[in-house]
Amino acid sequence: MPVKYTCVLKHIRSNAELVILILVTFLVVFMIANSGFVSASSQSQNATASNETQIKYAFIAKWGSKGSGPGQFNRPHDITFDSSGNVYVSDRDNNRIQKFTPNGTFIKTWGTKGSKDGQFSIPYSIAIDNSDKIYVADRENSRIQEFNTNGTFLAKYGSDGVGNGQFHRPEDVRIESRTGDIYVTDTYNNRVEKFDKNFTFITKWGSKGTADGQFKLPHAIGFDSKGNVYVDELERPGVQIFDSNGKYLGKWGTIGTSDGEFSLPQEHLWIDSKNHLYLVDGAPNPRVQIFDPNGRFLGKVGTPCLMSTGEGCKDPDGPGPLSLGDGQFSKLEHVAINSEGKMFVVDRGNHRIQVFAPVSNSTAEKSQ
């Protein structure tokens, strides 16, 4: 063998360990870059979509005012839709559920304050399954109540306690649409409970604490297209991610007021059919932020009130419709996306619902 090739082979052999090290390093970097979830310590919370690719929405409608009459609200809390597109709102401090057409026309209401079947003590959250059965997290009664779309009481589940199937002030109930399984954030027991579609207990996970998989008041829950479970908490920013059996997968989120950061107490979330997460920021910085499943910031909707009273935003023009307050929020709570892609936001401090429609970048540029 020629001398020059012999030297080359000797050189390669002498550096074999270095070559292997380089290959291993490349493989590790590739795996991290393509992992499904990233931890709060390793992910870049400030990673954002460019202005050209950000998701944008435009204000299109609103309804509601403070009061106890039909279509009025007293600190409304949650919102969702049935299979016909009708809108249901948990009118929290009026202790009732209100039903509207997709355009906000009042249809009916049910519920009064109390602990009897069909009564409520802070109806906190509301969910509807594929059969249009309605589930309400009746927080201060520590139970879930079930109704049909006419408001007829069907069943109730749970009682105050720490056992399987019991709750202590639950704040969210959600249905995983593929399986029909029902999940409840058992907020003040600092855990999540999972039930089948007949509300038979399956499993639970979580305890009070700051470690991965522990909670500081789990508040809201949602699911991606794979059935993974996203939980946000009142006293911790961002979300924790689990599989459907409660195995911890990851987390993201930091405290702050910049894009992609969160103010506390953090409010509710919604996950749409494209796996976009819509997270409601806390009362000090009221807005809806949009993320991909890995925590990449994709856009935001809403601003705080420019002028405010103790009852919410104040119209700079004086008495009359809050026209200049469109898109402004005061202590917002829930967000939901309907089948048309419209965003419905529960503007709690203003006792109203605001509706936004998605817009293309070209449309947004023309309107500026």
Q: For residue range 135-165, list pLDDT tens digits in order.
A: 999 999 999 999 999 999 999 999 999 999 9
Q: Is pLDDT at 8 greater than 50 in this prediction? A: no
Q: Do residues 144 and 191 lie in contact, with contact meaning Cβ atoms separated by under 8 Å?
A: no
pLDDT at residue number 136:
98
3 with 102, same domain: the answer is no
Residue that wins the pLDDT comparison between 21 and 272: 272
Tell me, yes or no, whether 81 and 216 share the same domain.
yes
Q: For the residues 264-287, what does the mean pLDDT come to?
A: 93
The verdict on 49 and 13 lying in the same domain is no
**144 and 53 together in one domain:** yes
Same-domain status, 30 and 124: no
Confidence check: pLDDT of 127 > 80: yes
The pairing of beta strand 343-347 with beta strand 352-359: antiparallel
Mean pLDDT of 325-343: 92
Lowest mean pLDDT among 48-62, 107-121, 198-212, 325-339: 48-62
Compare 323 and 180 and report the one with higher pLDDT. Answer: 180
Q: What is the mean pLDDT of residues 89-113?
A: 98
Inform me whether the pLDDT recorded for 288 exceeds 70: yes
Give the chain's domain count. Answer: 2
Quote the pTM value.
Answer: 0.85
Confidence of residue 114 (pLDDT cuts 50, 70, 90): very high
Q: What's the whole-number average pLDDT of the chain?
A: 86
Structural domain containing residue 189: 41-367
The candidate with the shortest Cα–Cα distance to 132, out of 112, 151, 149, 110, is 149
Apex 267 CA angle, 266 and 272, nearest 5: 120
Which of residues 321 and 220 earns the better pLDDT score? 220
135 and 118 housed in the same domain:
yes
Q: Is the pLDDT of residue 75 over 90?
A: yes
Residue 266 has a CB neighbour count (10 Å cut-off) of 25
Residues 30 and 70 reside in one and the same domain: no
Top-confidence residue, 8 or 195? 195
Q: Which residue has the higher pLDDT, 281 or 16?
A: 281
- CB–CB of 154/135 below 8 Å? no
What is the mean pLDDT of the segment spanning 107-119?
Answer: 98
pLDDT category, 303, cuts 50, 70, 90? confident
Verify that 158 and 261 share a domain, yes or no: yes
Residues above pLDDT 90, as percent of the chain = 73
Which tokens hold the place of 366? 């023309």
Q: Residue 74 is which amino acid?
A: N
| CB 19, CB 25: distance < 8 Å | no
User: Do 121 and 26 reside in the same domain of the chain?
Assistant: no
Q: 104 and 29 in one domain? A: no
Residues 300 and 318 in one domain: yes
pLDDT at residue 306, rounded to an integer: 72
CATH number assigned to the domain comprising residue 152: 2.120.10.30
179: left (phi over 0), alpha (psi -120 to 50) or beta: alpha
Please say if the pLDDT value at position 365 is more than 80.
no
Q: Which of 100-114, 275-289, 305-319 has the lowest mean pLDDT?
A: 305-319
- 134 and 252 assigned to the same domain: yes
Identify the band that residue 246 occupies on the pLDDT scale cut at 50, 70 and 90.
very high
Whether 287 contacts 262, CB under 8 Å: no
- pLDDT of 231 > 50? The answer is yes
Between residues 266 and 22, the one the model is more confident about: 266
pLDDT greater than 50 at residue 43: no
Q: Are 148 and 134 in contact (CB under 8 A)?
A: yes
